[in-house]
Chains A and B, each alone.
Chain A
Amino acid sequence: MSASTPLIQVQNMTHGYNMAGETMTVLKNLSFTIDFGEFVAIIGPSGSGKSTLMNMLGCLDVSDEGSYLLDGQEVRKLSDNKLAVIRNEKIGFIFQNFNLLPKLSAVENVELPLIYRGLSHRERRETAQQALLKVGLEERMHHRPSELSGGQQQRVAIARAMAGSPPILLADEPTGALDTRTGQEVMQMIRELNEQGHTIILITHDLEIAKQAKRIIRIQDGNLVEDRRNAR
């Protein structure tokens, strides 16, 4: 990682889906870069293509055309297994509906990415406990998701996302399933993570949420229509 190359470099990214025999272009020729330590909100109405963009940035899918350099590496050329390694090591996901495994306890959920990284049981447990401590859930370590409130579940998900200390945190409508107050708490936590040096990409349709980011990229109909710094 060198500071001179941007963390994320998207160039002419184009992607479409086949729907009933017709190709629908969802991303049209997108280009932007994101540096280390940024806090970027990608905003757009539903159907604008922001979810597809998130899948691309999160290496869950690969675009039809264009290039996506992540930390200087061309993602489109990588095999499925290499993509899995990148998702594991470079990206932490925070989903709207938390996506915790219901049969595992909080600490086991947080351990999950570390299992796939091949850490020993003891290392995993320690790291996971540290992460849960950071989000203030050390008391609820052995509770299952169903025994936690929505806000607590999202905090577990945040702990899981940052347990492996990936450079990028990718949050997809992290407050979408929460009430305003707990949503604010979660946003507060995300801002703090950014202050600690994590690069954060926040995907949302809510301008109020997006305003808390330092930079806003607006997507409409698959086009990048606005990219501005936020004077908070």
Chain B
Amino acid sequence: MKLFQSMRMALKSIYSSKVRAFLTMLGIIIGVSSVIILVSVGQGTTSQITEQLNGLGTNQLTVNITGRGATTSLTYEEALALGDIEGIENVAPVISGNVTAKHNTENVSVTVEGITPSYEDVKDFHVQSGRFLLDIDTEYRQKVALIGTGTAEDLFGTDDPVGQKVQLNGISYKIVGLLEAKGSSLSGSNDDILLIPIATAERQLKSKGVRSITIATTSADTVATVKDKLESTLDAKFNYADNAFSVFDSQEMLETVNSTTATLSMALAGIAGISLFVGGIGIMNIMIVSVNERTREIGIRKAIGAKKLDILAQFMIESIVLSGLGGVIGVGIGVAGSWLLGKYTSLTVSIAWDMVLISFVFSLLIGVIFGMMPANKAARLRPIHALRNE
């Protein structure tokens, strides 16, 4: 008997008991659709976090100095000397604070960072017009500044800020460069910012010493070893005081997020597996009932020439069509649900197409596995017993 014929027979039989078929499929539908929605939301959120962490750079270490005990801070010369540690490519010490920036009548409160020229490479900040800060600006404590696109818009609107003057807490600075737009990262907007030479910043912010150092390692692989060396060097500098500094490692953070995500995915897959398994048991249950109910039908079919394989195929196909149909409906609801969630809620959703495929194939497999027992039972019925059954 041809496969197509069997398929038609299965569909006919399912169609003739629609409500029961739907209830049978419900377990699979719920299983498949919930897996797709959960994984899609999970993937969306993870990729959002990963993107933000990657924005911080994967070969970067950030040292925050809080200062405890006798030594409370590092001078920027001391900070620059950390660059001698093997594996460190570049060091960008930063002194930061908040000032009120004023141009004509416009006033904005803005973050000021005192930086060295190495900041350009380490933090990957570049100017789109004008020039970056130079060593000479630091040496002579020049009153020059780079401006972020956000602050530039606040102060100058659509005018070109390069070459203009700006007052920081009343002190006049010349803007020499406009930074490229960076968007925002975990640490907030990167565009509402002013960068000035670090030596100038010491005076402007009345802050002795470096508060934060961003360090670029030669590669992402050496981050961990560099971190160890850096910590022991700094420990010695701060006389082993507790909590004098902290080293933040975006790589480590990324790994933490990734392992959390992996655990979460495993848990989701587990829940999915259980719900699909329960759906499968539902199918098996109905198929057994169906075989019992249709004992006579099986007897008649066998009497007029159906072979074992014909009956086996008929019931297997019925069970696979049931579970496959459930899978298709589940995929439909799952994809539509994910899409709606992404569109109408604040959740970031990226539809997990691999999960769509996996859960559909899995639902077919459920049909095969859980259809086997009832179908085999049907195929092995002896025609005289089946015919006698009223």
Contacts and interface: CB of A to CB of B under 8 A. Distances in A.
Contacts of B307: 80-81, 84-85, 116
Contact of B301 (A95, A112, A118): A112
B346 to A, nearest CB: 51
B306 A116 contact: yes
Interface of B: 1-2, 5, 12-13, 16, 296-297, 299-310, 382-384, 387
A88 B383 CA distance: 13
Contacts of B309: 81
15 contacts: A58-B303, A60-B302, A60-B303, A61-B382, A61-B383, A80-B307, A81-B308, A81-B309, A88-B304, A89-B305, A100-B300, A101-B300, A103-B13, A113-B304, A115-B1
Contacts of B296: 99
Contacts of A103: 12-13, 16
A85 B306 CA distance: 8
A108 B1 CA distance: 15
Given A101-B300, A115-B5, A116-B310, A55 B384 contact: yes
Chain A, interface SS category: helix
Chain B, interface SS category: helix
Interface residues of A, number: 25
B311 to A, nearest CB: 10
B387 A60 contact: yes
Given A81-B308, A115-B1, A93 B303 contact: yes
A61 B305 contact: no
Contacts of A93: 303-304
A214 interface: no
Interface of A: 55, 58, 60-61, 80-81, 84-85, 87-89, 93, 95, 99-101, 103, 112-113, 115-118, 121, 160
Given A60-B387, A112-B301, 12 more contacts: A60-B303, A60-B384, A85-B307, A87-B302, A87-B303, A103-B12, A113-B304, A116-B304, A116-B307, A117-B305, A118-B2, A160-B304
B305 A116 contact: yes
B306 A80 contact: no
Contacts of A87: 302-305
Contacts of B305: 84-85, 87-89, 113, 116-117
A61 B385 CA distance: 10
